[in-house]
Structure 1
């Protein structure tokens, strides 16, 4: 076994770590046996408690991530398994390329943001949006500890169809389900800045957008107007649940009017072609991760 000295390049260190099996090769997730990959990542997962309800864990067998230990919805999986929503993880790894400009809308503590920042590389750009202040702070720390802060901008704001403020309700121990509500806030709510995506510096050049916003998707889509109007090649991963929209068919038509091909990232089967009827005939309470591509 050859040991690396202090003059080894980052690429040499990465190859060496992968050869020893101590750093997971995320490119393996493009193909192969998901269950085997999950087992390897789970075996590489480590977690250290730092105090004050904060831990740092290893995700995807290679990145460091700060989490809130009270978060039962996502952090429990990251601390024990080291991955989250593997079907979406695999799809993102296949689609995002070096040099891209990417928007992560609804970034939570940063699981997908850290992965996206690595995928776009030093020539790319990641704009990461998380309105919940405690989660945004964990996101910033995770981006920095992995060395991705030079290519990543964290925006502690909600996105929608207008500029102003929004009331964010954060369920106790389930920050991934934080959502914008109408009217005055009560216990468990926080006032946050609200902006349109297309007014954010750099966002007009988006190549890939991930949107997971617990019901705010249609307002966010309206705020993408100037990005969509450029008619550039664009891929959007958007969570769609019909029960959240007053007119789900109208919203889907609004989406497809911009020239997108429609597919869904299925839990078991991966990317599957879908018709509008397929999407609208699914249970209205199901979260469907739509894959929209054009160009």
Structure 2
């Protein structure tokens, strides 16, 4: 099995259907398996999955466990050489999966790779390259953990992006969690997603642990996805605040209380990081 495609859904029936249709189209010439975890949806998601994607491995949770644990449920079932974690609101290009597999096969040092993400209107989403939002960047600077993310320009206040950065293949600190292609052997080595980071931050933590284990994360913009960035809860809701900012506290405490053993030369360097760029 070349690749295990894992999608977690919670009450996004229509977006999920589009996502799965584009993923199966992109995998038509690839030896793949599709694993869908429905995290206790109350809409028509489970019925739609059973009727229209019965060939997929379906995990139907009776209670909501969060994205991190649900993804781990899928990883436990995965038999592929690679694992692709995809959000349920993400549209894949026809050749996207084929291209990222070719990239990973050609880069044995890569633990994982992400791609260029666009909004439904075609606008570039900068977090597809940085891997995290401004709020997470602020946390890392405030706690001093930013020195472990030297390729993310956290000490610059420039939020503008030039075409060279958007379209250049480069090593990055963090892979965007909306579309993460991971080497299964690396996952076996570093362990599963941190389930305490139930909704947010587990992708940042996983990317960090990939680098601590001596592998590289890459941004590969020569293919793309469309990301609807569907938000289940309002950013003003207590649920959002609890999960989003709670994840920041958990992440900071995890690495401030036990500083990681760095295996990659140069990670403590704060300024002038070295980038590996392919034209």
Fold-level match, TM-score > 0.5?
Answer: no
The structure that is strand-richer by fraction is 1
Normalised by the length of structure 2, the TM-score is 0.31
TM-score in terms of structure 1 length = 0.29
Instruction: From the CA coordinates, give the structure whose radius of gyration is larger.
Output: 1
